[in-house]
C-alpha cells in the first residue's frame, strides 16, 4: 500500500474530494 503524499492529500482536500480530517493509507477517496 502507498500512502498519499502530503501534497496530494492537500490537493484533494482543497477540491473537496477528501475530508479534512481523513488520513487514508489506502484509496485516496472512497465514497
Partner 1 sequence: MAAPAGIYLGNNVGLKINSIDITAYVSSITLTQTFDELDVTTMQNTSHVMAKGLESGTLQVNFLNDWSASSVCATLQAAYGTTVTAVMIAVKATTGTTTASATNPIYTVSLLINNLTPLGTGGPGDITQSSITWTCNSTIVQTTSGTFSA
The residues of the shown chain that bind partner 1, judged by CB under 8 A, are: 1-5, 8, 11-12, 15-17, 24, 26-31
Which one, 8 or 20, has the nearer CB to partner 1? 8
* Cα dihedral value 2, 14, 22, 24, nearest 10: -10
- Those residues whose C-beta lies under 8 Å from the C-beta of residue 25, and which sit 6 or more positions away, are 1, 3
Least spacing, CB of residue 21 vs partner 1, in Å: 17
Q: How far is the CB of 28 from partner 1 (least distance, A)?
A: 4
**Cell numbers that stand for 28 in this block:** 485516496
Q: Closest approach of Cβ 14 to partner 1, in Å?
A: 8
Amino acid at each position: 500500500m502507498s500512502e498519499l503524499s502530503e501534497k496530494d492529500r492537500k490537493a484533494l482536500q482543497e477540491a473537496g474530494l477528501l475530508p479534512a480530517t481523513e488520513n487514508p493509507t489506502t484509496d485516496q477517496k472512497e465514497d
